[in-house]
Amino acid sequence: MVKQLVLAALLVSGLFSQDAYERHCVECHNELPTSLQSMFKRYLLVYGGEKNVKAGLKHYLKYPLREISVMSDLFIDNYGIKKKTTLSDKQIDKALDIYWEKFKVIDKLK
Amino acid sequence: MLSDQRAMLTKYAYIQTKRLKVLHHFFDERTEYPRDPRFTSAIYDMENTKIFSLLEDENIRFHEEIYISHNHIHLVKTLDEFYLGTKYLIIEVKDDGIWRGEIWKNIIGYGLIFFLFFMIFGLYLAKLFLKPMRDSILLLDRFIKDTTHELNTPLSAILANIEMMDTDVMVEKNKTKLSRINIAAKTVSVLYKDLTYLTLDQEKKNHDEVIEIKELIYDRAEYFSSLAQSKHLECNLDLEESTITIDRRKFTRVIDNLISNAIKYNKRHGTVGIELKQGMLVIWDTGIGLNEENIPFMFDRYMRFNNAEGGFGVGLSIVKKIVDEYHISIEAESKEGEGTRMVLRW
């Protein structure tokens, strides 16, 4: 019994130790062949600045469409369009902030 | 020139864009920003946030394509694809100023060539257009010079013989005829003196002396009296004592021409007036007068506004030349049909 309780506690604490990005994005994207960084670079190439990238991403998460996807046709043909997000705006914003900070180019070039 | 610099900077921008494309592809395995010894560069996103910069002057003018600041030329290139999120790629090179020197050299060089060309062309055209006018003036001058030499002797002979004639024994009819000859001879004599002055005398040295103007005017009025009488003119003399230091020959030409004009262009039974005050001489008439538009041109050589009377149109130009030489001001007031008033002040 004690063993089960400890295991459950570890699972819950592990789950809550993850940030919004890891919780809501990484899990599903792990199953895809294209990394989140590659996708970030695609968004960066199309949308440019921080605000624009975040706005573009948010819109796509809320209203996913083949026409507005930055991914290649081959990728979409194989993996399809994602489902509409169930996250709140606040949760999306939080996840996107982390996503941006993780892969942004600013301050990384030497 | 700046256009040459622009071409060079555009080429650099193209090279740097290619490098950014590669870096974008390999980011973040590679994070070293591409550098080039020929130029420095910077990248900014569409919100004008700096992504990376090697520039010396980071005050970017995003809305100018090319500009110079702090001795550096900057080219702002807008990218169509935002490699690494780059919307603006700025290329910077040191401005050595050589192109500016080149521009000035070209402006001055070509400017001088064009200026000289148009100057020579203009002179050639002016000469071409003025040639007929110059030729006719030269012809007239030569004609006057040649004929005046031949006029002196016969004219002197006529005038001397008229003076010597005994009019007491003459019948009235002949007296009138003689008077007419006298007038005609004097008119020609004035003209002769003007022409000789113009062609020969004006080059002579001045012999300035103090002249009693009143005496001179009486003398000249006497000389022209027969001419005035022929037109039944009334002479109105109001002369005060006055002197002037001038060459007698030249001042006589001035007086003669002004009195002769006042008589010549007067109406029959008109009046010629001469007023003399200290520092001022006025000769007026009640003649045909001049149109106001013609007054500024009345002192021009060969300029004549009335062909009814003889002459070459040189009288007033001689007057003007002499008064200018002695800093005497001359003022002409004239009204068509009412008369003319010439005022000399010294």
Q: Write out the DSSP string of B220-266.
A: HHHHHHHHHHHTTPEEEEEE---EEEEEHHHHHHHHHHHHHHHHHTP
Q: Give yes or no for A50 touching B (CB within 8 A).
A: yes
Query: What pLDDT sits at residue A63?
Result: 93
DSSP 8-state code for residue A81? P
Chain A CB contacts of B52 under 8 Å are 105-106, 109
Chain A partners within 8 Å of B27 (Cβ): 41, 105, 108
pLDDT of residue B58: 85
As a whole number, the mean pLDDT across chain B is 87
pLDDT at residue A62, rounded to an integer: 93
* Distance in angstroms (rounded) separating the CA atoms of residues B313 and A22: 112
Bridge partners (DSSP) of residue A47 are: none
* Distance separating alpha carbons of residues A40 and A50, to the nearest angstrom: 11
Is A109 an interface residue toward B (CB < 8 Å)?
yes
What is the per-residue pLDDT across B144-188, written as a single tens digit (0 to 9) for each? 777 777 777 788 888 888 888 887 888 888 888 888 888 888 888
Closest listed residue to residue A43, CA positions, set B84, B262, B179, B118: B84
The secondary element (H helix, E strand) that includes residue B134 is helix B98-164
Residue A26 CA, distance from chain mean position: 6
Report yes or no: A110 at the B interface, CB cutoff 8 Å. yes
Which of A51, A52, A105 lies closest to B84 in CB terms?
A105
Cβ-based contacts of B86 with chain A (< 8 Å): 48
What would the DSSP string read from start to end of B60-100?
--TT-SEEEETTEEEEEEE-SS-GGG-SEEEEEEE--SHHH
| Helix, strand, coil content of chain B in percent (nearest 5) | 50, 20, 25
Instruction: Return the half-sphere exposure (C-beta side, CA atoms, 13 A cut-off) of residue B98.
Output: 4
Give the per-residue pLDDT at A10.
Answer: 44
Q: What angle do CA B312, B315, B317 make, to 5 degrees?
A: 105
Backbone region of residue B274 per phi and psi (left: phi > 0; alpha: psi in -120 to 50; beta: other values): beta
> Mutating which of A52, A107, A109 best tests the B interface, going by the most B Cβ atoms within 10 A?
A109
Instruction: Please tell me the predicted confidence (pLDDT) of residue B178.
Output: 85
* Cβ–Cβ gap A110/B28 under 8 Å: no
Q: Please give the pLDDT value at position B177.
A: 85
C-alpha angle with apex B72: B68 to B75, nearest 5 degrees? 65
A70 touching B (Cβ < 8 Å): no
Q: Which residue of A has its CA nearest to B43?
A: A106
Q: Which residues in chain A are contacts of B24 at CB distance < 8 A?
A: 41, 44-45
Measured in angstroms, the CA of B20 and the nearest CA of chain A are apart by 11
Q: Which two tokens stand for residue B17?
A: 């864009």
Q: Do A106 and B46 touch (CB under 8 A)?
A: no
What pLDDT sits at residue B24? 94
Own/partner contacts of B156-161, CB < 8 Å, gap of 24 or more, are B158/B185, B159/B185, B159/B186, B159/B189
Contact residues for A35 (Cβ-Cβ < 8 A; gap 6+)? A29
Partner A contacted by B27 (CB < 8 A): yes
Identify the residue whose tokens are 């004219």: B155
Q: Chain B contacts of A104, Cβ < 8 Å?
A: 85
Q: Are the CB atoms for B262 and B315 separated by under 8 Å?
A: no
Enter the DSSP assignment of B344.
E
Which residues does chain A have with pLDDT short of 50? Answer: 5-15
B-interface mutation test, from A41, A105, A108, most B Cβ less than 10 A away: A105
Instruction: Evaluate whether A29 touches A79 at the Cβ level (below 8 Å).
Output: no
Nearest to A108 among B28, B50, B87 (CB): B28
Q: How many CB atoms lie within 10 A of CB B288?
A: 20
ipTM passes above 0.90: no
The predicted pLDDT at position B62 comes to: 92
The answer to whether B317 touches B330, Cβ cutoff 8 Å, is no
Distance CA B201, CA B250 (A): 9
Give the gap in angstroms from C-alpha A35 to the nearest C-alpha of chain B: 12
Of the partner residues B31, B46, B49, the one whose CB lies closest to the CB of residue A109: B31
Beta bridge partners of B243: B212
- In angstroms, rounded to a whole number, what is the distance separating the alpha carbons of residues B9 and B36? 12
| Nearest C-alpha in B relative to A108 | B31
The model's pTM? 0.48
The domain locations on chain A are 20-103
Instruction: Let me know: does B280 contact B343? Beta carbons within 8 Å.
Output: yes
For chain B, list residues with pLDDT below 50: none
Q: Which of residues 57-116 of B touch A (CB under 8 A)?
A: 81-87
* β-sheet bridge partners, residue B330: B344
Structure tokens belonging to residue B309: 């009377």
DSSP codes joined into one string, A19-74: -HHIIIIIHHHTTSSS-HHHHHHHHHHHH-SHHHHHHHHHHHHHS--TTT--S-HH
Which residues in chain A are contacts of B45 at CB distance < 8 A?
Answer: 48-50, 106
Quick one: pLDDT at residue B309?
Answer: 61
